[in-house]
Amino acid sequence: MKKIFCLLVVAMTAMALSAQSKVDDCYANHNKVVNVQAQVRVDFTQDYWDGELNRPTSGFKGKYFTIALDGHINKHFYYAYRQRLNRANKTESFFDATDFIYMSYRPNKHWDFSTGKQVVGIGGFEYDRAPIDLYFCSEYWNNIACYQLGASAAYITADGRDRIMAQVCESPFTTHRDYMFAYNLMWYGNHDWFNSIYSLNASEYQPGKYIYYIVLGNQFKFDNFRVQLDLMNRATSEHAFFFKDFSVMCELSYNVKDKFNVFGKVSYDINDSGVEGDYCVLPGTEMTRIGAGAEYFPLSNGRKDLRLFAYYSYSWGVNGNPTGALQDRQNLWGVGVKWNIDILSLTSKIFKKNEKAEI
């Protein structure tokens, strides 16, 4: 098992170094000292399980209400913070509802070091997208605790086209056990027609016992047409490495003049391992979900600050988790609105006054 894992690490690193696309270079965009934005999404949903309306998940729902804050202290230090205000309740602390809050240090254009509460470095485009922009997802996505405390180091290639990140953080399964860790290696690539989010992951699900991921997140872009295909294989040392426990997620979308976006999506989760270790897709699960939706952006000049949407999905199969997100013969449809509120933005004029004393 260890030999296979090490070989995959070497292979993926080699692919990362040979890629030829651009990755966002935040080092070059250090003019904003503070940027504050709120995002709100409200849905009306109808969720039928085997023909019966599931009332707790149906009706008007305030799905998301988030406050995001980011900016640069100087050209080397920057920070980011996002709080999901609709999540806090009596069983959670304020910090539990914090998606991420971290400080990063970038000494030059090649290296980036971060610490704080971060997104756990797991690959795939469904996983990587902000939850507020997703309408129905795989069983895996619905059960992974993707924000944890940790530290990471990233290397950006000389041409600025690839990013390789290594991360150590709390295990996503710390809700089951205390003092457990996850070790993640990621490659981000952004090509003209092909983007990638690949990862190798080892997470403790019990002290000293690991579940290993290989995740290949692929995005293909052709003019206004986009395909996202995620392949995720999960395994412990208790069963065969490949094809016993895995997920496939695929979304096809088409954008019409920055006003309309239509999409179709399918996900397939299976765990035929018969052993403990995967707390996201439990043993005995084989679930398929298929659906489609449409988005409309009514504002002019290509602005995305207001979105109207509608979606529908149908799932079938067997879920090893009786209270799982996906159920056999489940019909889910919804309509809603999402909007952004720009609260504050301070740019480089103020930054330059303070920069001389700090650098």
Instruction: Say which residues have a Cβ less than 8 Å from residue 24's Cβ, sequence separation at least 6.
Output: 190
For residue 8, pLDDT over 60 is answered with no
Element (H, E) at 11: helix 2-18
Element (H, E) at 348: helix 348-358
pLDDT, residue 228, reads 98
pLDDT, residue 21, reads 37
pLDDT, residue 85, reads 87
> Residue 310 corresponds to which tokens in the numbers above?
């509608």
Measure the CA–CA gap between 339 and 305, rounded to whole angstroms. 5
- Residue 176's pLDDT band (cuts 50, 70, 90): low
pLDDT, residue 30, reads 54
For residue 27, pLDDT over 50 is answered with no
For residue 84, pLDDT over 70 is answered with yes
- Residue 93's pLDDT band (cuts 50, 70, 90): low
* Residue scoring higher pLDDT (292 or 357): 292
Number of C-beta neighbours around residue 118 at 10 A: 24
- Work out the mean pLDDT of the chain and round it to a whole number: 87
Compute the CA torsion angle 138, 142, 148, 151 (nearest 10 deg): 10
pLDDT, residue 348, reads 62
* Least confident interval from 170-174, 225-229, 290-294, 329-333: 170-174
* Residue scoring higher pLDDT (69 or 355): 69
pLDDT, residue 258, reads 86
pLDDT, residue 5, reads 39
Measure the CA–CA gap between 228 and 238, rounded to whole angstroms. 31
In CATH, the number for domain 2-358 is: 2.40.160.10
For residue 271, pLDDT over 70 is answered with yes
Give strand pairing partners of 66.
Answer: 39, 84
Task: Give per-residue pLDDT as tens, 112-126.
Answer: 999 999 999 999 999
Whole-prediction pTM: 0.86
Using only C-alpha atoms, the chain has a radius of gyration, in whole angstroms, of: 21
* Least confident interval from 84-98, 255-269, 303-317: 84-98
Measure the CA–CA gap between 204 and 217, rounded to whole angstroms. 22
Judging by beta carbons within 10 Å of its beta carbon (0-12, 13-18, 19+), is residue 145 exposed, middle or buried?
middle
- Average pLDDT estimate for 90-110: 84
- Residue 197's pLDDT band (cuts 50, 70, 90): very high
- Residue 28's pLDDT band (cuts 50, 70, 90): very low
- Average pLDDT estimate for 21-27: 42
For residue 12, pLDDT over 60 is answered with no
- Residue 301's pLDDT band (cuts 50, 70, 90): confident
Per-domain boundaries in the chain = 2-358
Roughly how many angstroms between the first and final C-alpha of the chain, as a whole number?
Answer: 47
> Residue 24 corresponds to which tokens in the numbers above?
């966002």
For residue 183, pLDDT over 70 is answered with yes
- Residue 154's pLDDT band (cuts 50, 70, 90): very high
pLDDT, residue 31, reads 64
Q: Which amino acid type is present at position 11?
A: A
* Residue scoring higher pLDDT (330 or 345): 330
pLDDT, residue 349, reads 54
